[in-house]
Amino acid sequence: MRISQKKKALEILTILKQLYPNATCSLDYKTPLQLLVATILSAQCTDERVNKVTPALFNRFPDASSFAQAPREEIEILIHSTGFYRNKAKNIQNACLKIVNDFNGNVPQTMPELLSLAGVARKTANVVLAHGFGIIEGVTVDTHVKRLSNRLGLTKKDNPVQIEQDLMKLIPPPEWEIFSISIIYHGRAVCNARKPQCSECTLAHLCTYFKRNS
């Protein structure tokens, strides 16, 4: 008997929460600004690599004002190993300039205001709101969430915003961020991009990809 998409999503969520009861944001940060910067740096880069870069970066630039006034080249040197460093440095500095000029040096706490910052799309905004301020606005869709949501058959979309909209219809709002974080943990541990470990996956019985390829 085929179960509904919503029931399937809730069963997946239940299993994930049991598998990863301590799942949380993997980025190291102390302030909402540090979280914002770290999340921008995490684009197409591992959290592990970002966490190696940010201690020196945050020691040199402790707040939005210092980032805004910094020589761009100095930021680029410190974040070089995260990839796409020129564009990331530009976005970080422009975001901090706007934070200083428009938000009194404080990271804004609403989705529209965060989306007005350079380098910030819904993924970054969701992370900052959820982990920086405890505000759940949506489902964070990174590469792991995108891949697993499609493999599990929770969406057929490719666009992160459309994937987020599909997932928000299936998962209760209070669970949106824990679903994202747990999916990310599972993507790293079991359902990796090139060689998913389907034989070891406790979600296999619910997985469209597994049923199609078994």
Domains and CATH numbers, the chain: 5-23+139-213 (1.10.1670.10), 32-133 (1.10.340.30)
Specify the pLDDT at position 214: 82
The mean pLDDT value for 19-31 works out to: 97
Specify the pLDDT at position 48: 97
Specify the pLDDT at position 2: 66
- What's the mean per-residue pLDDT of the chain? 97
pLDDT digits (tens, 9 = 90+) for 108-164: 999 999 999 999 999 999 999 999 999 999 999 999 999 999 999 999 999 999 999
Alpha helices in 30-170 (DSSP H): 32-41, 47-60, 64-69, 72-79, 85-102, 111-115, 122-127, 133, 143-151, 160-170
Specify the pLDDT at position 21: 97
| Encoded tokens for 47 | 């959290």
Task: Pick the catalytic residue from 8, 47, 98, 142.
Answer: 142
The mean pLDDT value for 2-26 works out to: 94
The mean pLDDT value for 90-118 works out to: 98
pLDDT at 3 over 90: no
The fraction of the chain above a pLDDT of 90, given in percent, is 98
Q: Is 142 considered catalytic here?
A: yes
Which H or E element spans position 12?
helix 5-19
Q: Is 6 considered catalytic here?
A: no
Task: Pick the catalytic residue from 8, 88, 123, 146.
Answer: 123
CB 163 within 8 A of CB 144: no
Question: Considering the entire predicted model, what is its pTM?
Answer: 0.95
Specify the pLDDT at position 1: 52
SS3 of residue 124 by DSSP: helix
The fraction of the chain above a pLDDT of 70, given in percent, is 99
pLDDT digits (tens, 9 = 90+) for 160-212: 999 999 999 999 999 999 999 999 999 999 999 999 999 999 999 999 999 99
CA nearest neighbour of 32 among 128, 123, 134: 128
CA distance 127 to 178: 11
Specify the pLDDT at position 118: 98
